[in-house]
Amino acid sequence: MSSAQHSDATWTPGDFEHPNPALRRSIIIALCFAFILSTLAVVLRIVARRMTGSRLLLDDYLILVALFFKYSCSGGVTVLLYNGLGSHITMIPAKNALIYLQIGYSNNFVYTGCIAFIKFSILALYKRLFAIRTMNLAVNAMFGFVCLWVVGVYVAGALICIPASKFWDPSVEGACLDPYKFYYGIQVPNILSDLILLIMPMQVVWSLPIPKSQKALLCGVFLVGGLTLVFSVFRLQAMIRLADLGPDITCKYCRGCVIDVSALLIPRIDNQVPVVVWTCIEAAVGITAACLPNLRPLFKLGHRSFWSQARSSSNTSGKTLVESQTSRSTVSQQKEPFGFVEESVEVAQYEDYTKCVKE
């Protein structure tokens, strides 16, 4: 359809030059929200680290890698947006449809990398904060589980169509995996690992020698990660709904080419919007949740933190021993932050007591 025809208002709603405005708006909002939220969380995390005079640690570097993958994923979604996302696939030019399907194929690997490094960062944080044998074993086991999940997703993603070019070119002879199995295979282990990561620190936090109200607040900080779990479930639901809609059963014409829509794993591009939106939000919320426990130096409560109160209460009870080392400067020692980023608490279990060590 030429531009002259479009000027005569003979265009069809949802075509390539006139995509659904509501769908495009939701995608743009999700992209902006995800970019701002994830970037702000990581920047504040680094600022909090600098405020305490501490160097960047392993979990910080891992979250930076996750943010890089997040930017790459958002870049892929932006390319999709300008190559047909929000339009009917049968109304997309051949070259744009090809780009769309190739980016859709590769973005699965980028998304998986982002989610994996978020989990790695959280596990590194747990291992640093809770240096007890049971937690170390749990962290190592979860690390292995996440690694296996990543390998599984990458292998399944690479073999989703054999040959891979069949994913974006249905005319190629070959076969593709059942989308239901692929979607469940990606998301179910992801959701399960999110749930385990939520539960892991609860017992250790609840055993700290601090008031119950503070224990509840600390648990709440970690439980913010539950939002990631919720959005993972929403994403799975959107993916299953996408598969349930089914591909078009006829062969329709794209400008300049014939696309057998029934042979595509992506049934309708406009139906993909919910999946894309939840993908953007899930990764951004995951990065934010991973950063949140490190942001507490930005929110001071007087000159004392939970952990300084824990030291005080443990000295009174005599059941625990809390040692603190000299900070890098006198100023930072006088202005003790509200949180455990500067203090980097390690909980070490001995015979009958817990020892909190300030790094």
Q: What does the pLDDT look like over 70-98, one tens digit per residue?
A: 999 999 988 988 887 777 767 778 888 88
Instruction: Report the phi/psi class of residue 320: left, alpha or beta, with left for phi > 0 and alpha for psi in -120 to 50.
Output: beta
User: Which of the following CATH numbers is that of domain 3-298: 1.20.120, 1.10.3470, 2.40.160, 1.20.1070?
Assistant: 1.20.1070
Residue whose C-alpha is closest to residue 307's, from 270, 263, 266, 338:
338
User: For residue 178, what pLDDT is reported?
Assistant: 80
Give the range with max mean pLDDT: 24-28, 42-46, 168-172, 176-180: 42-46
User: For residue 359, what pLDDT is reported?
Assistant: 42
Residue 44: is its pLDDT beyond 50? yes
Cα separation of 259 and 90, whole Å?
Answer: 7
Burial degree of 21 (CB within 10 A; 0-12, 13-18, 19+): exposed
Tally Cβ neighbours within 10 Å of residue 144.
10
Q: Which residue has the higher pLDDT, 33 or 275?
A: 33
Dihedral in degrees, nearest 10, Cα atoms 84, 154, 176, 89? 0
pLDDT tens, position by position, 123-178: 999 998 887 888 899 999 999 999 999 999 999 999 888 888 888 887 888 888 88
User: For residue 250, what pLDDT is reported?
Assistant: 22
CA 225 to chain CA centroid, Å, is 10
Residue 219: is its pLDDT beyond 70? yes
pTM of the full predicted structure? 0.74
Q: What is the mean pLDDT of residues 245-273?
A: 44
**Residue ranges of the domains in the chain?**
3-298, 306-357
The DSSP bridge partners found for residue 357 are: 323, 346
User: For residue 151, what pLDDT is reported?
Assistant: 96
Residue 5: is its pLDDT beyond 80? no
Cα separation of 357 and 285, whole Å?
Answer: 30
* E strand or H helix that includes residue 115: helix 94-129
Residue whose C-alpha is closest to residue 191's, from 232, 152, 238:
232
Cα separation of 269 and 145, whole Å?
Answer: 33
User: 14 in helix, strand or coil?
Assistant: coil
